Amino acid sequence: MGNETTVETFILLSFSHNPNLQIVLFLVFLMVYVLTLFGNLLIIVTVKTDSSLHSPMYFFLSNLSFTDLCYPSVTAPKMLVDFLSKQKSISYGGCMSQIFFFHLFGCVEIFILTVMAFDRYVAICNPLRYTTIMRRRVCNLLVLACWAGGALHSTAQVLLIMTLPFCGSNEVDHFFCDSPPLLTLACTDTFLSGALIISNSGLISLVSFLILIVSYTSILLAVNKRSAEGKRKALSTCGAHLTVVTIFFGPCVFIYMRPATTFPLDKIVSVFYALITPLLNPIIYTLRNVEVKMAMKKFVSRRIYF
C-alpha cells in the first residue's frame, strides 16, 4: 500500500451542511422516529393483550412491528445526533455494525412480508386447510427462518465489505453506512464485490417482490368467487399488504439492483425504506383493518379507565 494509511473513521455527509436546515431536518426526523416507535409498540402490545388477535396473521403483524422498531433504530439515532454535530464521524467498527444490523432487520422485514403473503394466500385460497397448515409451530418456524435468513444475508454483506481496503477518502456520501456507498471508497477493484452484493441484496429484494406479486395476484383471482362481504374484507387486507410492499420494495430494488454508483436521489430514496416504511406500516395496517382498530380502541379505553 506504500505510504497510504488504512481508514479507521468514516465521515457521513448526511443531507445538508446548512445549520438551519439541519435543525429543521432534526425536528422532522425526530417526530418520524418517535411516531414509528409509538405506533409499532402499540400494535405489539395490542396483539399481545387482545385474545381476538391471537391468530397467525396478527402474529406475523406483531413480528413485523417488532422489526419496524429495530430497523430505523439502527440509523435514526446516529442521524439525529449528526444533525446537531459538526463532526459527523463513525468508527470503522461502528460502520460495519451499522451495515450488519441494517441488513439484518431489513432482510427479516422482506422475509416476514413474504410470509404474510403466504399466510393470506392459504387463508383465502385454502380456507378449509388454513388451521392445519398454519399451526402455531409452523408460524414459529417461519419466523425463525426469517431471522436465520436475515442473519446469513447480513453476515455476507459485512464480510464482503470487510475484505475491501479503505485507504483513501473516508467521506461516505450517505446518512448511514451501507454497502453501495462504501464500495465507491475502496481503493481496489470492486467489480466482483459489487456483483456479489447485487446478487445478495438486489436479488433477494427482486425475487421476494415477484413472489409477493404472484401471491397477491392469485389471491385477487380467488377473491372474485367470494361473497361481497368476503371480497371486501380480503381486498382490504391485501390492499394494505400491497401498499406496504410497493413502498418498501420499490426503493430497495432501485438502490441494490444497480452497480455501486451514487446519485443525489439515493439519500431521499433510502429514507423511504429505512425510515418512512416503518412509520407507515402501523398506520396502514390500522386504518385498513377493522379488527385491529377495534382492539386498539379497547386497549386505550382500558388504560384510560384504570
For residue 233, pLDDT over 90 is answered with: no
Identify the pLDDT of residue 80.
94
> Is the model more confident about 99 or about 203?
99
Phi, psi values for residue 172, rounded to 5°: -90, 120
Nearest in space to 164 (alpha carbons), one of 96, 258, 101: 96
Query: How many CB atoms lie under 10 A from the CB of residue 144?
Result: 10
Q: What are phi and psi of 260, to 5 degrees?
A: -75, 80
Is the model more confident about 195 or about 28? 28
Give per-residue pLDDT as tens, 160-175.
999 888 887 889 988 9
Q: 90 phi and psi, to 5 degrees?
A: -145, 140
Asked if residue 297 has pLDDT above 80, the reply is: no
How far is the C-alpha of 197 from the C-alpha of 184, rounded, in Å?
13
All structural domains of the chain with their residue ranges: 18-305
- Choose which CATH entry (1.10.3720.10, 1.20.1070.10, 2.60.120.260, 3.90.870.10) describes domain 18-305: 1.20.1070.10
pLDDT at 239 over 70: yes
Q: What is the pLDDT of residue 1?
A: 41
Which tops the pLDDT comparison, 263 or 159? 159
DSSP reduced 3-state for 12: strand
* Structure confidence at residue 228 (pLDDT): 67
Residue 15 CB neighbours (<10 A): 17
What is the reported pLDDT for 29? 95
pLDDT above 70 for 234: no
Whole-prediction pTM: 0.89
**Burial group, residue 196, by CB count within 10 angstroms (0-12, 13-18, 19+):** middle
- Mean pLDDT taken over the chain: 85
More confident residue, 60 or 201: 60
Of 102-106, 137-141, 182-186, 251-255, minimum mean pLDDT range = 251-255
